[in-house]
Amino acid sequence: MIKIQPYILIITLTMSSCSGFDYFQAAPLIKNSLMGYKDINISEEFYDQQEYSFAKIKVGRSSPVILSLAFIKDGIYEWVSADEERIYTLNGKIIKTVGLDYNLNFLTGKNLPEFNDLPVSQSRLVELTNPSAMITQTAYIYEDLNAGIIYEDVKSSLLNWSYTNTYEIDLDSGLVKRSIQKIHPYLADFDIEFFYKF
């Protein structure tokens, strides 16, 4: 069963109270909410036009956005959107966000281990916003070396919240080239593709 997001219904009803509202105006909005937005094709030409490394991020069925690499400090990559939203990654793992409706900040357990260090278990302390909370998580991290994928099974008993993140590794460079990560209980999965220009 397809569930219509409550905000779509509220927008539609609000717009219907306006005089001269055309119900056909709501159709693209509802379609995009149900079916998702068009993807951004990263062609060779698009890649060549970019001055810096960049990441394509899609949250759930939302429209994808491009974030440019602004800085690298102590192995932490800072990616910035056109709207000044910031995502910080360490070895491809999101460890902090700034400017989103729901943010997180890993205080401990930030690092994603290398293939030769797996499997491993981690305990971590994570700060969330909206609502403000400090939670502990346990993570079991393991790999499928043949596929070049690292899996991260995460549990937070306080929120009764569990999920699995995946990190697809480029075996030549050792860098994460794609990941699907859950960062906040109120946000859909972050589907991230990394494009490096070094």
Structural domain boundaries in the chain: 1-16+23-36, 44-195
C-alpha 177 chain-centroid distance = 13
**Better-predicted residue by pLDDT, 55 or 30:** 55
* Cis ω before 119 (30° cut-off from 0): yes
> Looking at the predicted structure, is the pLDDT value of residue 23 above 80?
no
Alpha-carbon distances of 198 from 82, 91, 139, 181, 194, rounded to whole Å: 22, 16, 31, 25, 12
- The pLDDT score that the predictor gives to residue 95 is 97
- The pLDDT score that the predictor gives to residue 5 is 52
Mean pLDDT of 158-176: 91
- Return all residues near 150 (Cβ < 8 A) that are at least 6 apart: 112, 113, 115, 118, 141, 142, 143, 166, 167, 169
> Looking at the predicted structure, is the pLDDT value of residue 123 above 90?
yes
% of the chain at pLDDT higher than 90: 62
> Looking at the predicted structure, is the pLDDT value of residue 172 above 80?
yes
Question: Regarding the domain delimited by 44-195, which CATH topology (the fold level of the hierarchy) does it fall under?
Answer: YmcC-like fold (2.40.360)
- The pLDDT score that the predictor gives to residue 188 is 95
Q: What element of type H or E holds 96?
A: strand 93-98
Least confident of 26-30, 88-92, 180-184, 190-194: 26-30
> Looking at the predicted structure, is the pLDDT value of residue 30 above 60?
no
Question: The whole model's pTM is what?
Answer: 0.79
- 111 falls in which pLDDT band (50, 70, 90)? confident
- The pLDDT score that the predictor gives to residue 193 is 97
SS3 185: coil
- The pLDDT score that the predictor gives to residue 42 is 83
> Looking at the predicted structure, is the pLDDT value of residue 167 above 70?
yes
- The residue to which tokens 């909206």 are assigned: 130
- The pLDDT score that the predictor gives to residue 100 is 94
Alpha-carbon distances of 11 from 2, 121, 158, rounded to whole Å: 18, 45, 34
Q: What element of type H or E holds 30?
A: helix 26-35
Is the separation of the CB atoms in 97 and 78 below 8 Å?
Answer: no
